[in-house]
Amino acid sequence: MTYKEQMDKWLSSDAVDAKTKEEIKAMNDKDAQESFYSYLEFGTAGLRGVLGAGTNRMNVYTVCHVTQGLAEFIKAKGKDAMERGVAISYDSRHGSTLFAEETAKVLGANGIKVYLSDSLRPVPELSFAVRHFETIAGVMITASHNPAKYNGYKVYGEDGGQMPPENADIVLGYINNTDIFGDVKSDDLDKLINKGLVVKFGGELDRAFIDNVKKQQIHPGIFEKAEDFKVVYTPLHGSGNIPVRMVLNEIGVKNVILVEQQLDPDGSFSTVKSPNPENKEALTLAIQLAKKHDADLAFGTDPDCDRVGTAVKDKNGEYITLTGNMIGALLTHYILSGRKANGTLPDNGIVVKTIVTTYMTDTICRDFGVDVENVLTGFKFIGEKMNGYQANGDYTYLLGFEESYGYLSGMHARDKDGVEASMLITEMAAYYKTKGMNLYDALMELYAKYGTYRERTIALTFEGIEGAGKIKAITAGIRKNPPKEIVGMKVLALSDYAERVRKDFVTGEQTAITLPKADVLLFELENNAWVAVRPSGTEPKIKFYIGVNENSVSEAEAKIDEAFAFINKKFLV
């Protein structure tokens, strides 16, 4: 069906409300094509897209369409699956409350029990809720750290992790065989609540979640020694406000300074350009407040509170942001050294990270006799490893993290936990303060011991139909003509995760890659350096990752600058 035929279908349907039809009629041809040329892609990350009318947009109709497909998937599993039900939560984005309620109405109308959050709650608590209520699935309405014009629909499996590819494919099959208007069932929410098909959850689950988060402390009571420790926190208008403040209070942090302008939920994220704590600009107000109060730490969580961005003073007394790789390396050392000191470091411990995450982790873990396992980008792959370790007992999971500012050390969830990470980062900063150090000092100490590992991620956005084609063209060009040398460093090997083969250019040997197929190219260079290329699975972006290991920070940064200039000239012009 062409985009114009899709438009006509929406305009002629009695199921579409008058306001949506007016929005469609007001579209110019380019906007109409972008909105209707395809359906939003459903995969292991669910849906994510721009808010608006059309099949390629996030709206009530696309949300209900996908939910009907999910309902068919659950019904096919039988009565027990339907009775176990689905947990639903949402963040502060435009449309999130409405989409959550519409999801509950469709599932309930299909006879599937629903546990619906009574207010906004973070991703990790939804993952925890799936496990706590033992539901068959979960849905989180969020577009994570994307700009305000986006929203999304993340589907979770019964383990609390994002739905695995094989199940996502089955759900997609049901979606494709379901008419967006004629086949979708729905019912009145109050009626479903009275029938017991929709049950709202709140404070009781919050209590259980926070109790599990607190179990991950490494040095309980550290704030009795660091009474003057000061931390600035901002939830960036998102769902972290209540749970993060709650856990900080309960572990004894006495001086929590809040960015008042960013406490209330605001789907427009009016005080920031983008609510992404990976960007220093998102922490502007927090850093200003940290300077005013001479705080030891400033940090912020994104709207669904699964990522944490951090700022601390450098050697010149200026507040700088630490990357996800830096915090991940610091947490790795903090957890391993702390557990070794208190006698709880297991002989079969393991840390899990993604293939585009700092290699410094490997060096630290070797020092403590702890194994490292690398997985594809996406926390669902870390969650799958956690399930395997728990089932077979081969390893004891200690920490999983991604370079994109997501961390989890406990077994209570199967997705990134910004609440737990906020607690651990704050505790870690207080611990180092008792040693006369801050997190920057601690990082420099790790560099002195393990080598100066530095990384940088460059994300380029290409939106719309033309953008998708541009991203494909860039990756295809690199795959067809891979470089043999990057800024004076020979390419020693290339791992092509689409072909699932590693080619060693020194020995000529080719070995199979056992990880799932993915559109990722990873170049291994001399001097423990590496470069990776990966189209994002959730945003209209292509990402370049650069990692080096040099003798000093200045040398490392200079090498990364050179590598980026090479990439820009070689592949992007």
- Residues annotated as catalytic are 144
The three state secondary structure string of 311-333 is: EEECCCCCEEEECHHHHHHHHHH
Helix H or strand E segment including 421: helix 418-434
Give, for 476, the enclosing helix (H) or strand (E): helix 464-480
The token pair at 172 is 């997609």
Distances (CA, A) of 34 to 27, 30, 181, 332, 490: 10, 6, 20, 44, 42
Burial 176-204 (b: 16+ CB within 10 A, else e): eebebeeebebbebeebbeeebbbebeee
List, in sequence order, the alpha helices (H) in 57-202.
60-75, 79-84, 96-109, 123-133, 165-176, 189-194
Going by C-beta distance under 8 Å and a sequence separation of 6 or more, which residues neighbour residue 117?
87, 88, 89, 90, 100, 126, 129, 200, 201, 202
- Angle formed by the axes of helices 418-434 and 203-214, to 10°? 40
Q: With contact defined as beta carbons under 8 Å apart, do 386 and 396 qualify? A: no
* Residue 469 Cα distances to 44, 466, 473, 540, angstroms: 22, 5, 6, 11
Separation CA 226–CA 247 (nearest Å):
17
What is the 8-class DSSP label of residue 58?
B
**Distance, CA of 404 to CA of 84 (rounded, Å):** 33
**Using an 8 Å Cβ cutoff, are 338 and 368 in contact?**
no
Structure token pair of residue 124: 């990790």
Strands 86-90 and 114-117: parallel
Tokens of 129: 């809720």
Phi and psi dihedrals of 486, rounded to 5?
-130, 120
205 phi, psi to nearest 5 deg: -70, -40
Q: Which two tokens stand for residue 106?
A: 């469709």
Chain centre to alpha carbon of residue 525: 28
Rg (CA), the chain: 24
Beta strands at 530-535 and 521-525: parallel, antiparallel or unpaired? antiparallel
Length of the chain in terms of residues written: 573
Q: Are 430 and 229 in contact (CB under 8 A)?
A: yes
